[in-house]
Structure 1
Amino acid sequence: MRHSLHTLTAASVLAFSLSGCLLGPNYQRPAIDTPATFRFQEGEAADLANTEWWTQFDDPVLNDLIATALADNKDVKVAAARVDQFLGQFWSTRSALFPQVGAGFSAARERVTQSGPTPVFSNGAIFNDFQGQINASWEIDLFGRNRRLTESARANLLSTEEGRRATILALVASVAQSYIALLSLDRQLEIAKATTQSRAESVHVFELRFHGGEVSQMELAQSQSEYEASAATIPQLEAQIAQQEDALSVLLGHNPGPILRGRELAALGAPPVPAGLPSDLLQRRPDLRQAEENLIAANAQIGAARALYFPSISLTGFFGTESSQFSNLFTGPSKIWAFAGSVTQPIFTAGNISGQVKQAEALQQQALYTYQKAIQTAFQEVDDALISSQKLREQLVVQGRQVEALRTYSTMARLRYEGGYTSYIEVLDAERSLFNSELSETQTRQAVLTSYVLLYQAMGGGWVVDAEKMTTQQSSLTGADAGAGAGNGNGNGNGNGNGNGNGNGNGNGTQPASGAAPAENVK
């Protein structure tokens, strides 16, 4: 009966502790001023938030590069390790809600002095001491401090998980942008080489004509000047290509080296514009969910700080046995036990507790404003990406017509010069304008494709979860593949590759170090 009473009392204390009051404000999502639609809404937008949008470029090499980056990128692995770190922190914080139980055993052989202040003249001067005990301690969370700390730790864990997803979102976008930029540089190099080759032939013709007395030295020098101008762009572009390959290699998690190419820039598909409402961003963008979890964590810290004003109640106890002979250690007379309770109440702290409350409230305000600003920034990024995508496509159409007009102008100017109707300066002007226009058109095409990437990055969506699953899959792009690509030039037939075929990427497809369970499952 007495044992049952003790059990009932302990259960009542536990139930009262878990149902005790929680100090501090309970979290409520703040009111957000959300516009009904984006300023620059796309008329033909599609609901593609949960699709692997990069496959819409229709380039298998890009798909492999993104898979490789998700499997091997070091930033993703760092983010995964941070999730493990905060998962451990959550477990440590939550453990304070439960009794802490331990056990111990000790054995000693001692001799008591016979010449001290209280001499011992007996055979007991040398004796053995054996002890075994189980001890327990428990802080009753009457005012909810530990529960608030656990709430904050859980929110920090979820924030870290969302931070990992934000890293994945940024990584996919960065790989796609870098690859598009690489193809753009390839195309510009191809234009520069073709223009330089054409001008080299013109210089050769002019040299023959100069020696034959048909053209002046000034016209020859003009032709040579234009040749050197286009030739000078080739090493610049080749350097940019190598640097872009190195940057992309590091994004893949590999050492700097050559990058395999797939389609040419003009052959890449154009992904459709994703649809969505501004309010959707609150759930679709991991950086916004991360900011909200930080706000939840800061809000819980207020209650934890306010609980310091109230008493702290702790229960401790142990049960064990002690005997001078091991054979008697587990007999009835050797039992020892003790139970104790303590209550501590702060009386005067010279502003220590109020200072902690003030800090917690200020941090909560900072987190709130950070969350609100993140939402406004998200709206801005989507609007900017939408208008950029629309206007860049219009610009590309105009520049395409300009290039065609300049090709006609260049052809007609050369025919007029050959017929003696105009000076060579007109030919040079036409060719110079065509060269610059072709480079500009290529850069605009790159900007159009990049705008799609930025738009999908700004919109977020369920595709981040699909990409997250790929971080634990082995990449399909091996170092041998990268080496094979190095021997094929830059993929556009411009011969920029060195043909060594060795490849710096080891392509080992190593698994991320983290094996953390999804943070959403933590209770």
Structure 2
Amino acid sequence: MHSYSRKYDKGFRTFSSLSAALALAGCSLIPTYERPAAPVPAGYALADPQAAADAPAAADIAWQDYFTDPRLQRLIGMALGNNRDLRLALLNVEQARAQFQIRRADEYPTLSGVASATRQPNPATGRYGNAFQVGVGISAWEIDFFGRIAALKEQALEQYLATTEARGAAQISLVAAVATGWLNLLADEELLDLSRRTLATREESVRLTRLRLENGVSSELDNRQAASLAEAARATYAQQQRQRLLDENALVLLLGQSLPEDIRASLPSSRLDSAAPMQPLAAGLPSELLQRRPDIRQAEHVLRGANANIGAARAAFFPRIALTASVGSVSDELSGLFKGGSWAFSLAPQLALPLFDAGRNQANLESSRVGREIAVAQYEKSIQTAFREVSDALAGRATLSEQLQAQRAQAEADAKRLELSDLRYRNGIASYLDVLDAQRSLFATQQALVGTQLQRLQNQVALYKVLGGGWNPAMTYETLAAGTVAPR
């Protein structure tokens, strides 16, 4: 440390004031942000104006109010507390927050305490002398005159906000996935019950045709055809048992723990027809997705961050002004460190102007500009994807109910056809082929009916998801980790 007289205190204060003024007067080279126009039509082709006027928006409905089955509510709460993907998204938010704090700290000087003691020979006298020093110092504090550090801080802030929105998108997807997995289990149980009843009926048919064969009433062909149909039902039953286990495993992965025994025990008596209803939703306008969908907001924050990167790349062409300073006490005796006349300070301002960098700064600027164009394309793609998802869900809402009604009528007709075919066969009017064909047709229709019921319910879940429902910004990492649900 170089020693100076106190008379330079006034100059030091003047320089400090000038440095603060330069820091406050720093300009920004970040381009003015303009949100790109949404590359989608102004409305949905199958939107219901009456529903849009009467029904609430999905984002305004808490998932506890949309999924009213207590068992499903319990499963969703477990998933929010234990799902590892959601936990990872929450940790990413914490990491991005820390990165932003690091960038924000770069705007301020770092004060360090300094203490040293040296003993070395004095060339003039040939004797050893002591030098003691204590004080505080600022090491290479960059005065952000051209906004480089501010631009980097802005980019870190947008990255933090983007990860926060990614957390919201992850929660929406998780809530919808648990609801879909629960409906899959209900459909599996219904299909298993249908297959069990069908298999029992066909085994009874095998027994009856064998008796008729033994009494010379029917042929061996009838017996073999009945046995073939029974084995087909047995194979279908085994396949559905496997699918039931696979769907439970998928749900367990979402929950992050095993399925509670009381909920598993309640499944065999559950049916899709008795599933708790989900309330109607308003589709709104495509422009509302920009505020309702966390994934779109995430893409916009990424775009804003890419825009801020251009400001940092531009600032690299301008000089960097840094300040190194220290103030403290110097003495040749330890006891004299804090006595009058021992105080001293040093100033070392530095200016670095890029003269030749082989095109590095220009390439960095071009890379930042291309990065912004990439972010624009990703933002527009997220809007288009959201529009397509909502349009698909609306198409399902407009047609699945009618399809379900038609399939119910078809199942009733096939059941009556089987009854009449069996009656005609027993009276010798029709062949057994008519009975087998009626059995196959009824079984296929009943399976398709369960599939359509499942598809209609899953479409309601999908519509809630794609319209931004299921995200609660008040949810904290601590409440999720504890497995509790914060109030909306």
Report the TM-score, using the length of structure 1 for normalisation.
Answer: 0.84
* CA spacing shift, 1:98–1:474, aligned 2, 3 Å: closer
* CA spacing shift, 1:11–1:27, aligned 2, 3 Å: farther
Selected match of 2:199 from 196, 201, 204: 196
Structure-1 separation of matches of 2:161 and 2:204:
65
SS of equivalent to 1:135: strand
Structure-2 separation of matches of 1:71 and 1:85:
19
Return the offset for 1:453. Answer: 1.2
Counterpart in the other structure of 1:47? 56
Return the offset for 1:16. Answer: 3.7
* CA spacing shift, 1:471–1:51, aligned 2, 3 Å: farther
Counterpart in the other structure of 2:380? 372
**Letter paired with 2:245:** A
Structure-1 separation of matches of 2:159 and 2:301:
7
Return the offset for 1:57. Answer: 4.6
SS of equivalent to 1:207: helix
Map residues 288-367 of structure 1 onto 2, 5 A cutoff.
Answer: 288-367=296-375
Structure-2 separation of matches of 1:96 and 1:6:
23
Return the offset for 1:5. Answer: 7.2
RMSD: 2.4
Deviates more, 1:57-66 or 1:158-167: 57-66
Residue-by-residue CA offset, 1:56-83 (whole Å, 9 max, x unaligned): 4542111111111011100111011111
Return the offset for 1:100. Answer: 1.5
Return the offset for 1:119. Answer: 9.6
Map residues 200-219 of structure 1 onto 2, 5 A cutoff.
Answer: 200-219=203-222
**Letter paired with 1:395:** Q
Q: State the aligned residue count.
A: 469
SS of equivalent to 2:134: strand
Verify: 1:387 aligned to 2:390, yes or no: no
Whether the 8 Å CA contact 1:302–1:361 is kept in 2: the answer is yes
Counterpart in the other structure of 2:150? 147
Structure-2 separation of matches of 1:35 and 1:86:
35
* CA spacing shift, 1:92–1:473, aligned 2, 3 Å: closer
Return the offset for 1:470. Answer: 7.4
Counterpart in the other structure of 1:29? 35
Counterpart in the other structure of 1:10? 16
Counterpart in the other structure of 1:20? 26
Structure-1 separation of matches of 2:111 and 2:38:
47
Report the TM-score, using the length of structure 2 for normalisation.
Answer: 0.90
Structure-1 separation of matches of 2:259 and 2:67:
25
SS of equivalent to 2:416: helix
**Letter paired with 1:225:** S
Whether the 8 Å CA contact 1:76–1:164 is kept in 2: the answer is yes
Counterpart in the other structure of 2:3? none
Deviates more, 1:41-50 or 1:226-235: 41-50
* CA spacing shift, 1:121–1:19, aligned 2, 3 Å: closer
Structure-1 separation of matches of 2:476 and 2:352:
52
Counterpart in the other structure of 1:165? 168
Structure-1 separation of matches of 2:483 and 2:275:
30
Map residues 58-77 of structure 1 onto 2, 5 A cutoff.
Answer: 58-77=68-87
SS of equivalent to 1:159: helix
Structure-2 separation of matches of 1:471 and 1:216:
71
Unaligned runs of 5+ in 2: 1-6
SS of equivalent to 1:28: coil
**Letter paired with 2:472:** V
Structure-1 separation of matches of 2:18 and 2:465:
52
Residue-by-residue CA offset, 1:55-112 (whole Å, 9 max, x unaligned): 445421111111110111001110111111111110111112112211122345x465
Structure-1 separation of matches of 2:476 and 2:307:
34
Structure-1 separation of matches of 2:350 and 2:126:
41
Structure-1 separation of matches of 2:121 and 2:301:
62
Selected match of 1:132 from 131, 134, 138: 134
Counterpart in the other structure of 1:266? 273
Whether the 8 Å CA contact 1:54–1:176 is kept in 2: the answer is no
* CA spacing shift, 1:56–1:344, aligned 2, 3 Å: closer
SS of equivalent to 1:44: helix
**Letter paired with 2:368:** A
* CA spacing shift, 1:450–1:36, aligned 2, 3 Å: same
**Letter paired with 2:369:** E
Structure-2 separation of matches of 1:277 and 1:190:
43
Structure-2 separation of matches of 1:56 and 1:139:
53
Residue-by-residue CA offset, 1:290-313 (whole Å, 9 max, x unaligned): 000000000010011011111111
Structure-2 separation of matches of 1:56 and 1:511:
18
* CA spacing shift, 1:210–1:472, aligned 2, 3 Å: farther
Whether the 8 Å CA contact 1:26–1:300 is kept in 2: the answer is no
Counterpart in the other structure of 1:493? none
Counterpart in the other structure of 2:250? 247
Return the offset for 1:422. Answer: 0.6
Whether the 8 Å CA contact 2:38–2:287 is kept in 1: the answer is no
**Letter paired with 1:307:** A
Counterpart in the other structure of 1:521? none
* CA spacing shift, 1:7–1:470, aligned 2, 3 Å: closer
Residue-by-residue CA offset, 1:328-376 (whole Å, 9 max, x unaligned): 2212243332112111111122211111100000000100111111111
Structure-2 separation of matches of 1:213 and 1:90:
88
Counterpart in the other structure of 2:4? none
Counterpart in the other structure of 1:81? 91
Counterpart in the other structure of 2:226? 223
Structure-2 separation of matches of 1:329 and 1:470:
51
Q: Percent identity?
A: 37
* CA spacing shift, 1:473–1:218, aligned 2, 3 Å: same
Counterpart in the other structure of 1:432? 440
* CA spacing shift, 1:457–1:70, aligned 2, 3 Å: same
Selected match of 1:177 from 166, 180, 204: 180
* CA spacing shift, 1:255–1:272, aligned 2, 3 Å: closer
Verify: 1:92 aligned to 2:102, yes or no: yes
Whether the 8 Å CA contact 2:186–2:271 is kept in 1: the answer is yes
Counterpart in the other structure of 1:496? none
Structure-1 separation of matches of 2:56 and 2:195:
40
SS of equivalent to 1:464: coil
Counterpart in the other structure of 1:495? none
Deviates more, 1:54-63 or 1:428-437: 54-63
Deviates more, 1:203-212 or 1:233-242: 203-212
Unaligned runs of 5+ in 1: 476-508, 513-523
Structure-1 separation of matches of 2:186 and 2:280:
22
Structure-2 separation of matches of 1:172 and 1:48:
17
Selected match of 1:444 from 452, 456, 460: 452
Map residues 447-458 of structure 1 onto 2, 5 A cutoff.
Answer: 447-458=455-466
Whether the 8 Å CA contact 1:57–1:268 is kept in 2: the answer is no
Structure-2 separation of matches of 1:264 and 1:471:
35
